[in-house]
Amino acid sequence: MNKYRADLHIHTVLSPCGNLEMSPANIIKKACEKGLDIIGITDHNSTRHCKLVSKLSELAGIFVLMGAEVTTREEVHCLTFFENDSKLDEFQRYLEKHLPSIPNNTEKFGYQVVVDENEDIIEQIDFLLLSALDQSIEQIEKKVHSLGGIFIPAHIDRPSYSIISQLGFIPDDLLIDGIEISANCKTRSIMPSIGNQLGKSLIRSSDAHYIQDIGKVFTTFDMESRTFSEIKKALHNSMERNVSIA
């Protein structure tokens, strides 16, 4: 088995709150500097930058988990990841179908731009990506799993936009592949809220919106190699794979 250092929650310049420096190329460069082996690309309710980051990462030797940070109807943020381009594309269509058409105010929320590998802007997204989808957390979980994806409630210790703040506790029967805590969270403090989901893997990620935050915290994946299915096995402590946090 090998140990891999992963930061699975990184925003790009596509997220309105993502700093303009967060271009795909800069993210890869910083991830290399920080010694990360795996990064998750998770813009708010959009997967549009994932493929470019994934393409650019090949030369750098970094494995990219492609997905999005989805906002459920209850305003719970959840990380979602998909194995390949076609599943990612289907989930992108789902996101576009269920995101309300509320125009973005760039002065208040920031720009939402898609760039190419030369960092030239090729598209600006008009609708605010911070809005909540019109789908419940259960509906989104089912969609993600129907595509063989990974579904992880994000930063559950945060006082806003977390499953704990919005729903009080994690429902016993919600199918989750792990639980994310934020950079400074003390694991002991959140245990009571996890309830019957206590056996689930905890991951810790940066939720980086600024370049210097990438890799400031990380999760260690102990597994055979860097593939989507190995990552899934590690999250489920299956076949002697596992994940750990500092």
Site for another protein, rule CB under 8 A: 74, 136-137, 164-169, 171
Q: Minimum Å distance from CB 164 to another protein?
A: 6
Burial environment of residue 180 by CB neighbours within 10 A (0 to 12, 13 to 18, 19 or more): buried
CA-based angle 143:13:7, to the nearest 5? 65
SS3 126: coil
CA distance 201 to 217: 16
Distance CA 31, CA 60 (A): 9
CB of 165 to another protein, least distance (A): 5
For another protein, give the closer residue by CB, 171 or 236. 171
Least Cβ distance, residue 188 to another protein (angstroms)? 18
Q: Shortest Cβ distance from residue 9 to another protein (Å)?
A: 21
- Closest by CA to 103, choosing from 95, 112, 94, is 112
Closer to another protein by CB, 127 or 169: give it.
Answer: 169
Least distance (Å) between residue 159 CB and another protein: 8
Residue number, 31 or 185, with CB nearest to another protein: 185
Nearer to another protein, 81 or 161 (CB): 161
SS3 readout for 151-162: EEECCCCCCCCC
Q: Among residues 74 and 85, whose Cβ is nearest to another protein?
A: 74
